[in-house]
Amino acid sequence: MMYDPHCGRRETGSIEVICGSMFSGKTEELIRRMKRAQFARQKVEIYKPAMDTRYSEDNIVSHDQNSIPSTPVESSGNILLLSGDMDVVGIDEAQFFDDGLPDVCNQLANQGVRVIVAGLDMDFKGKPFGPMPALCAIADDVTKVHAICVECGRLAGYSYRLGNDKKLVLLGEKEEYQPLCRECYNRHNH
């Protein structure tokens, strides 16, 4: 927990959410913020869903191959148990966590921890994804990042799934998804 020596009490924690479509730079921004906290000599820990082993078992890795060590966890409750005396907690791929994640983030922030969460705000069907809407609602700050539409070059906010797999969770990258703007996304889905 962060302690302010000038007034003799803990600083107020916060929740920051970084959201957007696939290939928009969410993980890249999370890594940037976490590395800045490390540079400031703060105690940091980053968590990711244990199911996400695309690039690494125990690192979060951006599509640009930047990485930072992380701890894979099975559920949001594990984050609370493992965070101990951290100053900053990062959480990647938040959309894959259970609905308890917003409560976990609130508890950490109320204990004086800066919580930085990154995740997809919408699934491939264009619907709010997992705990992300609730996280955006309770966040002190929300940063929405955008990819570039691969078809027209405008800002892209949608993750369009290539192929016909209808499972909600399909871990993938450029072979399975592409970023599209609203107009191009709607054209493909009608």
Given CATH 3.10.20.90, say whether it is the number of domain 3-146.
Answer: no
pLDDT in tens, 125-165: 999 999 999 999 999 999 999 999 999 999 999 999 887 76
Print pLDDT tens along the chain (190 aa). Answer: 444 544 444 568 999 999 999 999 999 999 999 999 999 999 999 999 988 655 556 666 666 667 778 889 999 999 999 998 999 999 999 999 999 999 999 999 999 999 999 999 999 999 999 999 999 999 999 999 999 999 999 999 999 988 776 665 555 555 688 999 999 999 998 7
Task: Give the per-residue pLDDT at 117.
Answer: 98
With contact defined as beta carbons under 8 Å apart, do 105 and 135 qualify? yes
The DSSP call for residue 158 is: E
- For the whole prediction, is pTM greater than 0.85? yes
Mark whether 151 is an active-site residue.
no
Task: Say how many C-beta atoms besides its own lie within 10 A of residue 3's C-beta.
Answer: 11
For the chain, strand residue ranges (E) read 3-4, 9-10, 14-20, 44-49, 59-61, 67-69, 71-73, 88-91, 114-120, 141-145, 147-148, 155-156, 158-161, 177-180
List 16, 29, 45, 93, catalytic entry: 93
